[in-house]
Amino acid sequence: MVVKTNSETLVIFLLSSIGLIAFPHVDHIPKDLFAFFYLLLSWRFICIWKRNWLPNKLIVFFLTICGLALIYSQHQGVFGRDAGTRLFVTALALKLFEIKSERDLYLITYLAFIVAASQFLYEQSLLMAAYILFVCSALLATLVSINSGKPQPGPALKTASIILVQALPMAVVLFILFPRVEAPKWLLFNDKHQAKAGLSDSMEPGSISDLGLSGELVFRVKFTGALPPPSQRYWRGPVLSHTDGKKWTQIKDLRLGHNIDKPVFNGSPYQYTLLMESQGKNWVFALDMPAEYALPLSQNANYQLITSESPDKRTEYLITSYLNYNTGAITHTEYQEATQLPGDPSGKVKQLVKQLHGFDSPPEQFIKNLLNHFRQENFHYTLTPPLMEENPIETFLFETRYGFCSHYAAAFAYLMRVADIPARVVTGYQGGELNRAGNFLEIRQADAHAWAEVWMENKGWVRFDPTAAIAPERIERNIDIDQLVSGGIINYEPASEAAQAAFNWLKQARQLWSNIDYNWQRWVINYDNRNQSRFLSSLGIADINAMLYWMVGIIGVITALLSFLLLHQKQKAIDPVLRIYNRFCRKIVKSGLLRARGEGAKDFAERVKIKLPEQAANIDQITDLFIKLRYGNKATRHDFNLFKQLVKRFKN
């Protein structure tokens, strides 16, 4: 059974809106469940014209069992984002076969609103917000059509758009001033099964090179003043101190207090806002070395920042760093960790360290000799290094001599340790592309990097980047994944003038959009209670009472203004034909005859002719011209002028 009143157009409109709403979930729900939804939607579309194809209760029950079986087969449990979304999508598809009254149309529309809102649990970009606003306008237009009884998409969409525009000022006020209340952690059902790409807490030869061609955004940084030089843009991540000769891993004890001294900073500070994208680890990649930060950030024994909040949501932090620092003395435990070797070095390795005066010269001289060795002995920097499964450090040093930053950092730290100099590997990101439209840095997975730290007397842990000795352009200009040749060797030669011009234009367009997205993420998506408090404090609104007073006051002003505009709208201009006919009716009133509400022109004319038989010819002519001009499609300007003259001359 189907709802009767002008239902076909209304149901087509509703089903089309539902199809648009569910489409972005193609990447969020399993393909079989997605296909099941659109199969039922298509079936319901066909039933608009072939009503005998509507399934009976038994078939609907069978489809319900199939839908529940599909949901259960995904093993997502009862709670959580994914489980809830799949349940609502399936329920929406099944409910389409139960449209029997206006109540069902309302229920389906409200269920579709929930499915539309669930998109924001997965993606919160500006484009997605615009898309959801569009489909919600279509749903609101469906409600308008149901209430008006006239399922006309054009006028309904216009009315829905007007309603949304009228509601927008109030929505903005509520967004800015309504107290932000965050749900307690026990109410957050996160879906941890989804793996996230990025740096790991361990490093093997070539592991970081897997990220070398990834354009995935990791974080964005906006400085309050000048930007640090490109060669100093090192974003500190996990510090790897233990090695088995192939893999480098973090030490187990990373508690504060593992080291004796706190870093001593000097030089100019760099204050910046860091917007971290969601990730799988609770790491925050601060500019080396972070000095000032606030909760929920803390620093572990290796000076890496970590957050106590959930890392799977986008979060903003205010941090101050210094480029010049001294970490102070080294403890006995740190010394042992930073000189640990997996076994006795080979004769070839010892010979190389001896050749470079690692055993008989100060650390500074050995480091200088080793970096010169990398520069002068035909070493190469590549994103696609050859496999080195056995003895990777020796294979790299004495055979292939082709490697990524992880190969150089691991080999450098290993040779330092052979010379009994404390050293370790640091992973993180280096560089970042400057977005000139917004004057902020964008750091992507392609900027993943590894370097080394050496402990030196009176200096503490000092950064050395052997990659800079081989490919200084990588440090000064970063990796540009659009300038890679097929072999994986970085090519910094410029392209043709025409190609470069086109590339620059596309790059500017991308940066402009990235700037819009950055501000959307900062000021809308990340507008939590902390950012709200900071923003309102800058406006002089310091407590919740003031927030409520301002909110109620502004909403009152908006309500009064909208009420005034709605109550004092100009009346629509009356059709000139109808206006002239109303003038004729007012003349008839003088004879004691009043046209009844809803009375047709012909019926009214018959009553008037009984009262005024001498004017019967004029009354018939005026009535015929009115009907022709008002409802006909062959009326002329002459007819209108004649109609106007007859009414003007009419006397009773």
Best CA proximity match to 325, nearest among 169, 222, 456: 456
The stretch 572-587 carries a mean pLDDT of: 84
Tokens of 10: 């209304």
Mean pLDDT, residues 204-212? 70
More confident call, 194 vs 504: 504
* Per-residue model confidence (pLDDT) at position 335: 93
Name, in order, each residue with C-beta under 8 angstroms of 255's C-beta and a sequence gap of 6 or more: 300, 301
State the pLDDT at residue 476: 54
Q: What pLDDT does 464 receive?
A: 96
Adjacent-strand bridge partners of 456: 460
Supply the DSSP string of 436-478, one letter for each residue: TTTTEEEEEGGGEEEEEEEEETTTEEEEE-THHHH-HHHHHH-
Q: Does residue 100 or residue 617 have the better pLDDT?
A: 617
Q: Is 385 or 42 the better-scoring residue by pLDDT?
A: 42
Q: From 58, 35, 53, select the one nearest 43 (Cα to Cα).
A: 53
Per DSSP, the three-state class of 202 is strand
What integer best gives the mean pLDDT of the chain?
Answer: 84
> What is the per-residue burial (b if ≥16 Cβ within 10 Å, else e) of 342-365?
eeebeeebeebbeebebeeeebee
Structure tokens at 424: 């370790």
Q: What's the pLDDT score for residue 1?
A: 38
**pLDDT digits over 446-462, tens only?**
899 999 999 999 999 99
Share of the chain above pLDDT 90, in %: 32
**What is the average per-residue pLDDT within 477-490?**
45
Task: Kindly state the average pLDDT of the residues 103-114.
Answer: 88
Question: Look-up: residue for tokens 């690692």?
Answer: 358
**91-104: average pLDDT:** 85
Summarize the confidence of residues 557-571 as an average pLDDT: 78
pLDDT at 142: 85
Whole-prediction pTM value? 0.71
User: Residues 503-544: pLDDT tens digits?
Assistant: 778 878 888 888 888 888 888 888 877 788 888 888 888 888
Distance CA 173, CA 184 (A): 25
Distance CA 138, CA 156 (A): 8
State the average pLDDT over residues 268-291. Answer: 93
In this prediction, residue 408 carries a pLDDT of 93
Distance separating alpha carbons of residues 621 and 617, to the nearest angstrom: 6
Other beta carbons within 10 Å of 274 = 26
Q: Model confidence at 197, in pLDDT bands (50, 70, 90)?
A: low
Q: What is the pLDDT of residue 287?
A: 96
- Quick one: pLDDT at residue 571? 57
pLDDT value at position 68? 86
Q: What is the mean pLDDT of residues 401-412?
A: 91
In tens, the pLDDT along 21-33 reads 899 998 888 898 9
Q: What's the pLDDT at 81?
A: 80
The pLDDT score that the predictor gives to residue 151 is 64
**Pairing status of strand 448-456 against strand 423-430:** antiparallel
| Sheet containing 248-249, strands listed edge to edge, beginning at the edge strand earlier in sequence | 202-203, 248-249, 242-243
pLDDT tens digits along 66-87: 988 888 887 665 567 888 888 8
Secondary-structure breakdown of the chain: helix, strand, coil percentages, each rounded to the nearest 5: 55, 15, 30
pLDDT at 157: 85
Q: What are the tokens at 3?
A: 């709802």
pLDDT at 572: 59
* pLDDT of 633 above 50: yes
Among 305, 256, 239, 250, residue whose Cα is nearest residue 276:
305
Question: How much is the pLDDT for 474?
Answer: 63
pLDDT at 422 over 50: yes
- Note the residue count of the chain: 652
Name the helix (H) or strand (E) containing 201. Answer: none
Look at residue 576 and give its three-state secondary structure: helix
User: What type of residue sits at position 81?
Assistant: R
In the predicted model, what is the mean pLDDT of residues 593-615? Answer: 88
**Residue 437: Cβ-neighbour burial (10 angstroms; 0-12, 13-18, 19+):** middle
Of 15, 21, 171, the closest CA to residue 99 belongs to 15
* Number of CB atoms found within 10 A of residue 564's CB: 10
Tell me what percent of the residues of the chain surpass a pLDDT of 70.
88
* HEC-encoded secondary structure of 360-397: CCCHHHHHHHHHHHHHHCCCEEECCCCCCCCCHHHHHH
Contact in structure between 205 and 385 (CB atoms under 8 Å) = yes
Name the 3-class secondary structure at 288: coil
Mean pLDDT across 97-106: 83
126-148 vs 497-520: helix crossing angle, rounded to 10? 60
Instruction: Decide which of 633 and 432 is more confident.
Output: 432
Cα–Cα distance for residue pair 618/562, rounded to 1 Å: 48
- Residue 270: how many CA atoms within 13 Å on its side-chain side? 24
**Between helices 7-22 and 81-95, what is the axis angle to 10°?**
160
Only one residue has tokens 């842990």, namely 461
Whether the predicted pLDDT of 486 surpasses 60: no
Number of helices (H) and strands (E), helices first, in the chain? 21, 19
The secondary structure of residue 566, as a DSSP letter, is H
